Amino acid sequence: MSVTLVIGASENPDRYAYKAVKLLRAYQQEVIAYGNRAGKIDEVEIQTEWDANWTPDTVTLYINSKIQEQFVDRIIALNPRRVIFNPGTENPSFEKLLEKNGVEVEEACTLVMLSTGQY
C-alpha cells in the first residue's frame, strides 16, 4: 500500500488537511500526518518531528509557499513519486525543482482526486 504524507495536518475539522487525512483513510490509504501541533485525526497521530526515514509515495501540501521553503530539501530527500500542490499552495519554483529531481508534480485537490478516482 502506498503512503501519503500530509504536510500541514491539523485537528481542526474545518481545515482541508484534516479532511484529506479523513478521506485518505476512508479510501484505505496509509497516512503520515505532519503538522506544527501534536494531536490526532481519528487513529492517525499528527507528527511534529520530521523523520528522514519516511517513505511516502505521495506528499500532499497544505502549507503556503513561504512555509514550504523550510521543507524543500527535506521533501526532495524523501524521494516521493509525486507532490500534490493543493489550491493555494502552488509554488512554481519548488515545482520546477521537484521535476528536475524526477518527482511528478500535480497542481490539484487531493479531495477531488480521491472522490473522482484520479488519486
Domains of the chain and CATH, by start: 3-115 (3.40.50.720)
Query: Does the pTM of the predicted model rise above 0.85?
Result: yes
**Interval 12-28: pLDDT, tens:** 999 999 999 999 999 99
**Res 1 pLDDT > 90:** no
**Interval 36-94: pLDDT, tens:** 999 999 999 999 999 999 999 999 999 999 999 999 999 999 999 999 999 999 999 99
Contact 30, 1 (CB under 8 A): yes
Torsion angle in degrees (nearest 10) through CA of 54, 76, 109, 55: -20
Q: How confident is the model at residue 97 (pLDDT cuts 50, 70, 90)?
A: very high
In whole angstroms, what is the distance from residue 79 CA to residue 91 CA? 18
In whole angstroms, what is the distance from residue 82 CA to residue 102 CA? 9
Residue reference for cell 509554488: 91
| Measured CA angle at 2 (ends 28, 36), to 5 deg | 85
- pLDDT for 69: 96
- pLDDT for 17: 98
Taking Cα atoms as reference points, which of 67, 60, 71 lies closest to residue 97? 71
Report the residue count for the chain: 119
Mean pLDDT of 1-14: 95
